[in-house]
Each structure stands twice: as C-alpha cells, then as structure tokens.
C-alpha cells in the first residue's frame, strides 16, 4: 500500500473531521468566527499524518476512530 492510498483511507475513516465534543465546538467556532474549515487546522492535519502512518503500519482504520492525533 502506498502513502497516498493510506492517506485516502485515513480521510475516509474521518481523520479530517472533528472528534469528540470539544473539537465539534472548536470546529463550529472556527467556521463562524474565522471562516476556517476544521480540515485545515493543525490538529486535523496532525491526526491525518498519524492515522496515515498507523494504517501503513497495519492498524485497522476502524480502530482509529476517536483517536486524537
């Protein structure tokens, strides 16, 4: 599996979506006050990188849900 394939799987698993109540609030705040998409934040990008590496190391994408990167 390539890095691009693993990244696609991580995105499909929700790496760029808010995880948990606090991130949902932060995402809403960003979208209304800063007009920033949650996927563009450092936290979402760090999670994407961590989940991609985990998938490349054989972790099941279903086990990645609710893991804060």
Spatial contact of 51 and 33, defined as CB atoms under 8 Å apart: no
pLDDT category at 69 given cuts 50, 70, 90 is very low
For the cut 60, the answer to whether the pLDDT of residue 17 exceeds it is yes
> Using one digit for the tens of pLDDT, what is the confidence trace for 38-54?
888 888 999 999 999 99
Identify the sign of the CA torsion 20, 60, 44, 12: negative
pLDDT given at position 35? 78
Instruction: Give the pLDDT score at 62.
Output: 76
- Encoded tokens for 66: 């609710």
What is the spatial distance between Cα 6 and Cα 49, in angstroms, rounded to a whole number?
10
How far is the C-alpha of 58 from the C-alpha of 22, rounded, in Å?
A: 29
Would you list the domain boundaries of the chain? 3-64
Q: Is residue 10 pLDDT above 60, yes or no?
A: yes
The mean pLDDT value of the chain amounts to: 86
Q: Closest Cα partner for 13 from 45, 38, 48?
A: 48
Average pLDDT for 9-37: 87
């Amino acid at each position: 599996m390539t890095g691009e394939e693993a990244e696609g799987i991580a995105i499909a698993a929700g790496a760029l979506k808010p995880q948990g109540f606090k991130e949902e609030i932060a995402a809403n705040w960003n979208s209304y006050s800063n007009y920033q998409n949650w996927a563009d934040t450092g936290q979402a990008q760090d999670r994407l990188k961590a989940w991609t590496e985990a998938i490349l190391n054989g972790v099941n994408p279903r086990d990645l849900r609710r893991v804060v990167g």
